[in-house]
Structure formats: C-alpha cells, structure tokens
Amino acid sequence: MPSSDTPAVPPRKSRGPREHREHREHREHREPTIPATRGDRADPGQIRTHPSAATAASGLDRFNAASPGAAEAALLACCGSRRWALRLSGHRPYPDLGALLAAADEASYDLTPADLAEALADESAGHQPHSGARGPGSLAAHTALRAAHAAYESRFGHVFVICLDGLRSDEVLDHVLAGIRARLGHEVDEERSVSADELRRIARARLTHLVAGHPESAPFRTA
C-alpha cells in the first residue's frame, strides 16, 4: 500500500461524456512525454517500438532527473490516477526500466476503488480513430462496436478499456468487439478487476514508451 506520507491530492473535476465511443480503447497509444519547455509537445511515436538497453537507460535517466511536476504530468498520461502518479514520481530514481515497471505494477495493484474510478474516467478523454477494418463490411462492424460500447457503459457505468499493445491494426476492431461481448457477461466486481488489470497493462506499455528515448521526443525538463 502507498506510504502514509503520500501527499493528499485534490479531487479532479469529473469529465462529461464524449462522442465517438468506439475510439476509447485506443488511448493506450497516447504519447506520454515531458516537454523541453512549457507548451512544447513531442511528435507522436509508436508505442510498439521497444527501446534498446542504451536508449531506455538514457530516457530513464531523464525521467529520474525531471522536476516533480513534469514527471507527475508524464505519469498521468500513463495512468489517470493521481495517487498512482505521485507514488511513482516520489519513489524515483529507478535503476532500470524493470524496476520502474515493477513499481508501476505494485501501484496498480494497490489502486483503491476511488483511484480506479478516477483512472477509468480519465480514459474517456483521449480518443484516436481506428486504423483497421477498412473496406466492405467495416461500417457494419463500427456500428456494432458503437452498440457494444453503449451496452457496456450502461451495464458497468464506465468506459471499456483494453490493452492493444502488440496487435496489428487490422486486428484491433475484431479484438475489441470480441472483448466487449465477452466481458458483458461478467459480474460488476469481476469486471472491475479485469478493467484494473487492463489499465495496469496499458500503463506498462505507456511507461515503456515514456523512457524509450525516441529521437523525436522532446528532452525531459529538469527544472
């Protein structure tokens, strides 16, 4: 469990419903970065590109040296729970990517129901369009996906999340649709547990990209 000296975090304003529900499961592709200067944004990279040991070490060094506010902002792009982000930021420095991912897993397992609700609410904020399912039949598939999202949210009261790391773009839509249909049969407590584990996996993928040290990424700001 988080240490007793973890700073209190003020509640964030709740987010209203967003359009294009079929895009929500793609948020693991958002790019967590720490800008070089205020207002700068890094160009998007590919989350499936796994860093070499050298580039990961370089990116991790920058993450370890970043200012608390910059590190927490980047971590919030990996998981929307502020307590999760504060915990990982406060435990720096990390000796290697494995240690960071292990700490992230531990923090994910320790999410309270309120933390999980906060993280799930945050997942509705960033949507990206499907890159697969083009051609004949794709409109029907997207219509079915919208209906499945609506049924899921009506049953469980939060957005559907699923980790898509490692899938080809043409596999995404069918994988998501099958996942929603299978998980609609879960009891509420069971689905909450499954969603928490999917968020944990998504956070790991985002953290891996965060310290990947892609050349196009802006350097970490240390002050």
Domain that holds residue 177: 23-32+43-210
Q: At 159, which amino acid appears? A: V
| Residue 191 forms part of a structural domain | yes
Q: Are 126 and 18 in contact (CB under 8 A)?
A: no
| Residue 160 forms part of a structural domain | yes
| Residue 13 forms part of a structural domain | no
Predicted confidence at residue 52, as pLDDT, reads 56
| Residue 222 forms part of a structural domain | no
How many domains does one find in the chain?
A: 1
Helices (H), 157-187: 172-183
Predicted confidence at residue 169, as pLDDT, reads 86
DSSP element (H, E) containing 103: helix 97-109
- What DSSP letter does each residue of 78-124 carry, written as one string? T-S-HHHHHHHHHT---SSHHHHHHHHHHHHHT--HHHHHHHHHHTT
118 by Cβ neighbours in 10 Å (0-12 / 13-18 / 19+) ranks as: buried
What's the pLDDT tens digit per position in 53-89?
555 568 899 999 999 999 999 999 999 999 999 999 9
**How many of the other CB atoms lie within 10 Å of CB of 182?**
10
Predicted confidence at residue 138, as pLDDT, reads 75
CATH code at 148?
1.10.3330.10
pLDDT (tens digit, 0 to 9) for every residue of the chain, 223 residues total?
Answer: 444 444 444 444 444 444 434 344 444 445 555 433 223 333 333 333 345 555 556 889 999 999 999 999 999 999 999 999 999 999 999 999 999 999 999 999 999 999 999 999 999 755 443 444 454 457 888 889 999 999 999 999 999 999 998 898 888 899 999 999 999 999 999 999 999 999 999 999 999 999 886 444 444 544 3
How far apart, in whole angstroms, are the C-alpha atoms of residue 141 and residue 100?
Answer: 38
Predicted confidence at residue 134, as pLDDT, reads 52
| Residue 4 forms part of a structural domain | no
| Residue 93 forms part of a structural domain | yes
Q: Is the pTM of this model over 0.95?
A: no
* Sign of the alpha-carbon torsion through 15, 21, 27, 30: negative
| Residue 2 forms part of a structural domain | no
Predicted confidence at residue 53, as pLDDT, reads 58
Written as six digits, the tokens of 7 are: 């700073």
Predicted confidence at residue 54, as pLDDT, reads 57
Written as six digits, the tokens of 34 are: 């720490």
Predicted confidence at residue 139, as pLDDT, reads 83
Q: Are 155 and 184 in contact (CB under 8 A)?
A: yes
| Residue 127 forms part of a structural domain | yes
